[in-house]
């Protein structure tokens, strides 16, 4: 059919562009932004899984990001473990913390859950600032080793210090994340989550153990966020408690809302857009000498919710169909 083959064509073209991108645009700063975008795509997608598909408002999500980053960094710095071990470990440790937030979510909803999650991330941030023996407090951790080089058969080895190579690494994880998301949402698991989001009482009546599903969602979401944190730590190689600040959560929020809550590509568009926008604004700030970046974020968030509730993806959908409704497939 026509639509499918067009989609396929776009998909293949898009993939080719993505693969060739670092060679097409060689500016290192641009590549750096690509890497950051990729990491934020994973983070945003993980938040979207919670809030968009499952209706669980987690305003402390960066806690998982920070836990992943700090765990991975500490494992490398203090125990000398390879970052390749730290990567999944960061995810798993974050996932365990995901259980901590998952449990309150059984009985709390809306603002109550929101405020509890904020409390969680703030407590963690305070810990990371004050437990100086472990985290060096506000100074943060520096000198985090990059991903160790992979040795290929034939004598070549790939190092992960340059933006270009890390880009491909991150790209792989982005693709894996999106595939995972798609499979989870367009399946029995997905329909179960949607049922829970629509009517929890009704969902219980058809055998859905809402508590355990919420827990599972938190664990998966936290894992992905932790993974993103670990990628971030071994790329930027310097992390601080700022990683756990509310400002970061709000960035993620804005990315997903602008892109389109509850969609697969919404977080992708939002993350890329806002990462680049943020840098663009930084230049603007230098020129205009005014701190307008976050003001624009705030305004963007408000305007999106008032006028563009389903984000950019929603706008495209509206153009294609007659009904727009809430987060859907």
Partner 1 sequence: MAGAVLQGVNLTRWFGGLCAVKEVNFEIQAGEILGLIGPNGAGKTTLINLVTGYYAPNGGDILYQERNIAGMKPHTINNMGIARSFQIVRIFPKLTVLDNVRSGLVDRRTRSPIRVALDSILRSRDSQMIGRAGQARGEELLDFVGLIQYRDELAENLPYAYCKRLEIARALATEPRILLLDEPSSGLNPKEQNDQITMIRRINAKGITILIVEHVMKVIMDISNRIMVLHYGEKIAEGTPEEIYRNPKVVEAYLGGETSAQG
Partner 2 sequence: MESLFVQQIFNGLIVGSVYCLIAIGLTMIFGVMRIANFAHGDFSMLGAYFSIYFVALLSGWTGWIGSLVVAAVGVGIIGFFVERFLFRPLLTRWTDIDIIMVSIGLFILLENGARLAFGTAPKMISDPFGSRSVNLLFFSTSIIRLLCFLFSGIAIFLLQLFLTRTKMGVAIRATSQNRSAAALMGINISFIYSLTFMVGSALAGLGGVLYGTIFAVFPMMGAMPTLKAFAITILGGMGNIRGAIFGGFILGVAETLGGNYLSMQYKNAIGFVIIILVLLIIPHGLFGGKQRT
Give the interface with partner 2 as residue ranges (CB under 8 A): 51, 55, 57, 59, 103-104, 107-112, 114-116, 118-120, 122-123, 126, 129-130, 201, 246, 250, 253-254, 257, 290-295, 297-302, 305-306, 309, 326
Q: Which of 30/250 has CB closer to partner 2?
A: 250
- Least separation in angstroms between residue 290's CB and partner 2 is 6
Determine the Cα–Cα distance for residues 127 and 241; give it in Å rounded to an integer. Answer: 9
Q: Which of 170/215 has CB closer to partner 2?
A: 215
Q: Are 302 and 308 in contact (CB under 8 A)?
A: no
Closest by CA to 67, choosing from 179, 218, 210, is 218
Q: Which does 51 bind (CB under 5 to 8 A by kind): partner 1, partner 2, none?
A: partner 2
Q: Which does 17 bind (CB under 5 to 8 A by kind): partner 1, partner 2, none?
A: none
Q: Which of 135/310 has CB closer to partner 1?
A: 310
- Least separation in angstroms between residue 118's CB and partner 2 is 7
Binding mask 220-259 for partner 1 (x = CB under 8 A): x---------------------------------------
Q: Which of 14/111 has CB closer to partner 2?
A: 111
Determine the Cα–Cα distance for residues 22 and 140; give it in Å rounded to an integer. Answer: 30
Q: Are 85 and 91 in contact (CB under 8 A)?
A: no
Angle of CA points 281, 284, 285, to nearest 5°: 90
- Least separation in angstroms between residue 234's CB and partner 2 is 29
Tokens 């203090």, located at residue = 78
DSSP state of 242: G
**φ/ψ of residue 181, rounded to 5:** -60, -50
Q: Which of 85/296 has CB closer to partner 2?
A: 296
Asked if 116 touches partner 1 (CB under 8 A), the answer is no
Asked if 216 touches partner 1 (CB under 8 A), the answer is yes
Q: Is the Cα torsion angle 83, 84, 89, 95 positive or negative in sign?
A: positive
Number of residues that bind partner 1 (CB under 8 A): 34
Tokens 């040795």, located at residue = 151
Binding mask 180-199 for partner 1 (x = CB under 8 A): x-xxx-xxxxxxx-xx--xx
Q: Is the Cα torsion angle 36, 40, 41, 46 positive or negative in sign?
A: positive
Q: Write the burial class of residue 251 (CB in 10 Å: 0-12 exposed, 13-18 middle, 19+ buried).
A: buried
Q: Is the Cα torsion angle 97, 98, 101, 102 positive or negative in sign?
A: negative
Q: Which does 55 bind (CB under 5 to 8 A by kind): partner 1, partner 2, none?
A: partner 2
Angle of CA points 133, 72, 15, to nearest 5°: 150
Asked if 204 touches partner 1 (CB under 8 A), the answer is yes
Q: Are 304 and 258 in contact (CB under 8 A)?
A: yes
Chain residues 11-50 in contact with partner 1, contact rule CB under 8 A: none
Q: How many angstroms separate the first and last alpha carbons of the chain?
A: 20
- Least separation in angstroms between residue 229's CB and partner 2 is 21
Determine the Cα–Cα distance for residues 170 and 174; give it in Å rounded to an integer. Answer: 6
- Least separation in angstroms between residue 110's CB and partner 2 is 4
Q: Are 50 and 56 in contact (CB under 8 A)?
A: yes
Q: Which of 81/292 has CB closer to partner 2?
A: 292
Q: Which does 302 bind (CB under 5 to 8 A by kind): partner 2, partner 1, none?
A: partner 2
Q: Which of 42/253 has CB closer to partner 2?
A: 253
Residues lying near partner 1 in the complex (CB under 8 A)? 180, 182-184, 186-192, 194-195, 198-199, 201-210, 212-213, 215-216, 220, 323, 325-326, 328
């Amino acid at each position: 059919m026509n639509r499918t083959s067009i989609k396929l064509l776009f998909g293949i073209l898009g993939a080719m562009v993505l693969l060739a991108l670092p060679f097409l645009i060689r500016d290192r700063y641009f590549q750096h932004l690509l890497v950051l975008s990729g990491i934020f795509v994973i983070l945003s997608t993980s938040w979207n899984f919670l809030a968009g598909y499952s209706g669980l408002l987690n305003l402390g999500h960066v806690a998982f990001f920070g836990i992943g980053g700090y765990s991975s960094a500490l494992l490398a710095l203090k125990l000398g473990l390879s970052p390749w071990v730290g990567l999944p470990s960061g995810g798993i440790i974050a996932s365990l913390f995901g259980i901590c937030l998952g449990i309150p979510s059984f009985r709390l909803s809306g603002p109550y859950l929101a405020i509890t999650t904020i409390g969680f991330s703030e407590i963690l941030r305070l810990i990371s600032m004050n437990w100086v023996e472990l985290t060096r407090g506000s100074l943060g951790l520096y000198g985090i080793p990059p991903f160790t080089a992979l040795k290929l058969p034939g004598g070549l080895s790939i190092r992960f210090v340059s933006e270009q190579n890390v880009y491909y690494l991150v790209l792989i994880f982005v693709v894996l994340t999106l595939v995972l998301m798609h499979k989870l949402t367009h399946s029995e698991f997905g329909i179960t989550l949607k049922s829970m989001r629509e009517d929890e009482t009704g969902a219980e009546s058809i055998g859905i153990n809402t508590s355990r599903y919420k827990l599972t969602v938190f664990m998966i979401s936290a894992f992905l966020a932790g993974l993103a944190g670990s990628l971030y730590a071994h790329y930027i190689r310097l992390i601080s408690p700022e990683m756990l600040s509310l400002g970061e959560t709000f960035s993620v929020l804005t990315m997903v809302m602008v892109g389109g809550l509850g969609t697969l590509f919404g977080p992708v568009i939002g993350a890329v857009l806002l990462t680049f926008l943020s840098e663009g604004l930084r230049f603007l700030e230098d020129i205009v000498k005014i701190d307008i970046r976050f003001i624009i974020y705030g305004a963007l968030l408000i305007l999106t919710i008032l006028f563009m509730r389903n984000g950019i993806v929603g706008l495209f959908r509206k153009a294609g169909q007659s009904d727009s409704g809430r987060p859907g497939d």
